[in-house]
Amino acid sequence: MKTIICKEIIPVTKEPIKDGFILIDDKGKIKKIGSGKNIPKEAEIIDASNLIAFPGIIDSHCHATVFEEGIGMGLQDGNESTDPITPHIRTLDAINPADKGLRRAVSGGITTIAVAPGSGNVVGGQITTIKAAGTIVEDIIIQENSGMKCAFGENPKRLYGSRNVMPLTRMGSLGLFRQLMVETKNYMTKQEEYQSKLKQYKEDLKEYNEKKKDDKNKDLKKPVEPTKPDKNIKYEAMIPVFEKKIPLRAHAHQANDIVSAVRLAKEFDVNIIIDHCSEGHLILDFLVKNKIPAVVGPTLSYKSKIETRKKTWKTLGIMHKAGMLVALTSDHPVTHCQYQFIYGILAHREGLSRQGTFEILTINGAKILGLEDRIGSLEEGKDADILLLSGDPLDARTKVEKVFIDGKLVFDIEDGEELF
């Protein structure tokens, strides 16, 4: 066991604790949080009495490890730009933990990232959630499949329209998406029918064997086993969406595209989270009414296209105040993930409350990923993903001094590693 002694602990979900300690067990879980000096004598002491403890940041929409640094766009693995419908592909198969971008994430206090495919395809593939330090992908995965990436608006129609293939328009994108959804439902129906026939076949076979044993009647006809349908991995990949085990993670900036994404989700009764949501503040009542979560950003990047011309740092505060579940994304490498605290500070400056800023960096991302029982705050029983900060989290001068993931020290500014 080890104990971190801190000047202050900011759990996020509870009141701050002055002169506190965090006890970490040998499995990398937080065993106890308290104040005073009631620390087990056998615990290793980490003296951070001049530092502030804060939960590890969660970037619930990120491209680090698939859009890698220093290799050039031609070798990037983020977009499978050969087919607009690719639900069967996984970022899991492309993640490179050696990407310098992942190290940048850690240096800025990010301990968990949801690695998403890019937005070139109408349906882009499966998102994988990982802890932000390690060398073997399987060792750092915490969700093999945390959502199905899809994209509305400019990106797919620009990419494929330039080749004069569908989708050339927003109509084309939604048409292709609906076709996939209908085909998946038909596929699921056939699978269900097969299982029903298989169950009946087994019952009939049992009855046949019993009659054959007792009755030597040679006219008995043996039941015919039903033919198993061929497996289609595109449709198989979409089944968890229909079963509501994972949500659609919809890239949508512009208000009409956000509405279209929600329309499609309601049409097929599936869950959806809006990523980017740049004009979400313009349709706030609609999003609140439909209880749509959002992951907002990257707001620091310049307004490179029509869809982003109305983005503003005020969006996060407006949504949070209205009661929406909203988190912050860097969209790394669009903006650098190691500056998440700075992005939070900018949102705070433009109206987001202090508590709200803490939440969009941590617990809200955990809730969006369905991991709030494990990460996103400093609480007993949760993973010991802990940041030690030199000062107030909302002071731009504050530095991330040390980072612990699952109780292990994975970054120490005293090592002199230059990442900024």
Domain ranges of the chain: 1-54+378-420, 57-178+233-375
Q: Which CATH class is domain 1-54+378-420?
A: mainly beta
pLDDT given for residue 131 in this prediction = 98
In 3D space, the residue among 71, 110, 111 whose CA is nearest the CA of residue 94 turns out to be 71
pLDDT tens digit string along 378-409? 999 999 999 999 999 999 999 999 999 999 99
pLDDT given for residue 74 in this prediction = 72
pLDDT given for residue 302 in this prediction = 86
In 3D space, the residue among 359, 363, 364, 322 whose CA is nearest the CA of residue 344 turns out to be 359
pLDDT given for residue 311 in this prediction = 96
CATH architecture of 57-178+233-375: Alpha-Beta Barrel (3.20)
- Per the listing, tokens 């503040």 go with 281
pLDDT given for residue 334 in this prediction = 93
The whole-angstrom separation of Cα 340 and Cα 96 is 21
Shared fold status for 1-54+378-420 and 57-178+233-375: no
Average pLDDT of the chain is 95
- Per-residue pLDDT tens, the chain, 420 aa: give them: 999 999 999 999 999 999 999 999 999 999 999 987 777 777 899 999 999 999 999 999 999 999 998 887 677 899 999 999 999 999 999 999 999 999 999 999 999 999 999 999 999 999 999 999 999 999 999 999 999 999 999 999 999 999 999 999 999 999 999 999 999 999 999 999 999 999 999 999 998 888 887 766 667 888 999 999 999 999 999 999 999 999 999 999 999 999 999 999 999 999 999 999 999 999 999 999 999 999 999 999 889 899 999 999 999 999 999 999 999 999 999 999 999 999 999 999 999 999 999 999 999 999 999 999 999 999 999 999 999 999 999 999 999 999 999 999 999 999 987 666
Q: How many CB atoms lie within 10 A of CB 33?
A: 20
Structure tokens at 386: 């802990």
* 62: amino acid identity, one letter: C
Evaluated on CA atoms 140, 146, 150, 153, the torsion sign reads negative
The whole-angstrom separation of Cα 12 and Cα 359 is 7
Structure tokens at 124: 């882009």
In 3D space, the residue among 143, 35, 108 whose CA is nearest the CA of residue 371 turns out to be 143
The whole-angstrom separation of Cα 232 and Cα 135 is 32
pLDDT tens digit string along 190-237? 999 999 999 999 999 998 888 887 766 667 888 999 999 999 999 999
- The residues with which 6 forms a beta bridge, in sequence order, are 20, 48
* 82: amino acid identity, one letter: T
φ and ψ at residue 319, rounded to 5 degrees: -70, -45
